[in-house]
Amino acid sequence: MNTGKFPKDWADARRQLAIDRSNQDAEQSNEHLRSAAQATILINGGAATAVLAFISASIGKDKFDAQLIASAGHAIMAYAVGVACSPFVIWFMNIALKHWNQSWQQVLKDPGSEVVGTKEHKLAVPWYKLANLFLFGAIASFVWGSWILSQGFINAPSLAAAAPTHISPVTPPPSSPAPSAR
């Protein structure tokens, strides 16, 4: 007769589930959040590079607009914030994963315990939220930088002066004279 809290085969199955689940959680969470952080680095970095290329091409032209260049500088700062946020996403998520793995290890030690109730699980949640906050910050930085740049284009006086003020109507091509009716 089994005097333990749970049947032996159930405890072994739960232990194997905890091992498998811990490994899957760590691999998938790390992979997905790392990919998202890398994407925000590439998107923000690529945007900053494009703006720098635009600035270098604009400075040599006679249509140089200081207000647009200032907007481009502010946009680059926003993109730089997005790039800076991205490594923190990976770092904070790794800390959360470490705590979640320890939580599953606690289940291995005590098959009757619940994963959500462990001290380690409670420690992981704030780190996970912080990782998501920084990911949102990286995405928001891209949106903010792009908005700043668009406002620079919209309000650039040299671009407004270069825009045509009058568009002439399109005249139809000359047609052959209509046949006369006899």
**Per-residue pLDDT tens digits for 139-158:** 999 999 999 999 988 887 76
Look at 133 and 36; give whichever has higher pLDDT. 133
- Whole-number Å distance between alpha carbons of 74 and 149: 8
pLDDT computed for residue 173 by the predictor: 66
pLDDT score recorded for residue 139 = 94
**Contact, 96 vs 34, CB < 8 A?**
no
Q: What is the pLDDT averaged over residues 109-129? A: 80
User: What separation in angstroms does the CA of 83 have from each of 44, 62, 80, 93, 127?
Assistant: 6, 33, 5, 17, 19
Is the CB of residue 124 less than 8 Å from the CB of residue 99?
yes
- Among 95, 104, 102, smallest CA distance to 128 is for 95
Task: Output the pLDDT for position 9.
Answer: 72
Could you please report the per-residue DSSP string of 111-177? TTS-STTSHHHHHHHHHHHHHHHHHHHHHHHHHHHHHHHHHHHHH-HHHHHHS-S--PPPPPPP-PP
Residue bearing the bigger pLDDT, 13 or 79: 79
